[in-house]
Amino acid sequence: MAVPVIAGLGTAHPPSAGQDELWAGFFSRHFSGSTRAMAQRIFANSGVTRRQAAVSPLLEDVSEWPTERRMRRYQVEAVPLGRQAVERALAEAGLAATDVGLLVVCSCTGYATPGLDIVLARDVGMAPDTQRMFVGHMGCYAALPGLGAASDFVTARGRPAVLLCAELTSLHLQPARTRMDTQQIVSHALFSDAAVAAVVVPDGRGYAVREVASVTDTSTADHMTWDVTDTGFRMGLSPQVPQVLSVHVRGLVEELLTRHGRKLSEVDGWAVHPGGPRILTVVERELALPADGLAASRATLAEHGNCSSPTVLLILDRLARAARPPERVVLLAFGPGLTLYAALLDRQD
């Protein structure tokens, strides 16, 4: 039976701006009264120094745009960004577009039909019989079920698959209010745009996908939401999210490792979705990780912000390109549900 292996990763980013530049050039005027002082503190303590935006608020204020206009712009911006990521991943894996048997696309920030899956398969030159799957509205953890689906296809069919995660959170800037709730301020301080593609092949060199696992606490379903409104998609983010993660994360990881005869101490690479600084702190504490255990996650948050579904793959790419890439990696991502996903990867040459 074929072992699914991540043989290529490709990343693509729109133009970036500094967090201080974004605050001074736009967001300081987006908030008013006592809310502005609170927002400035949240921006300063976000752990983010730079972010990327396909539609930068420094150049174009979309906060009053209706959802239809945002969706039309999504298609304009997401297609070239996604294509760049896919072509880079295929090049790294040494494959042609016609070799791909399945294209999985994850995105929660835009919808259209024909969608990214159809348009990108056409534009990069995939074969007419390439199967497609679109994973929508799963949020920040979508890369892992997407990776699971791609891996299952590779194992069952013995053909390569491509996973693309593409998010344009900049399109969902919310209108300024006299008093904006803290959840929206946190969202505006953290989120960023990116596209990352992963090529999964049967056997070969790279990171073998041993298992993808999850747990969902439906009693906290209202803690993280992503609502479609007349002015884009609106984030709901409870301050209790880190507390819920603290209840479940160690059990999920230990059970995953135990099924493969491994222990926490044997993991030398951690790609943990940086939903924010508090989430990383909680994961670090609950898993008793060393001081530098989440260095790649924190560096990714600082340089790219929270890009939603592509973020965990950005961290994996950072780990894979290190001078000494880790041998065993655990990916962790969290999102609506409240859902935790984990994946175990082993490096093989």
Q: What is the pLDDT of residues 140-187, one digit of tens each?
A: 999 999 999 999 999 999 999 999 999 999 999 999 875 568 889 999
Active-site residue, from 106, 140, 165, 307: 140
Domains, the chain, with CATH or none: 4-202 (3.40.47.10), 206-348 (3.40.47.10)
pLDDT value at 134 more than 90: yes
3-state secondary structure of 253: helix
Q: What is the pLDDT of residues 37-51, one digit of tens each?
A: 999 999 999 999 999
| pTM strictly above 0.75 | yes
> Is position 307 annotated as part of the catalytic site?
no
What CA–CA distances, in Å, run from 195 to 123, 175, 233? Answer: 16, 25, 19
Q: Would you state the pLDDT for residue 18?
A: 98
Whats the size of the chain, residue-wise? 349
What CA–CA distances, in Å, run from 241 to 68, 186, 219, 336? Answer: 31, 13, 12, 10
Q: How many CB atoms lie within 10 A of CB 227?
A: 9
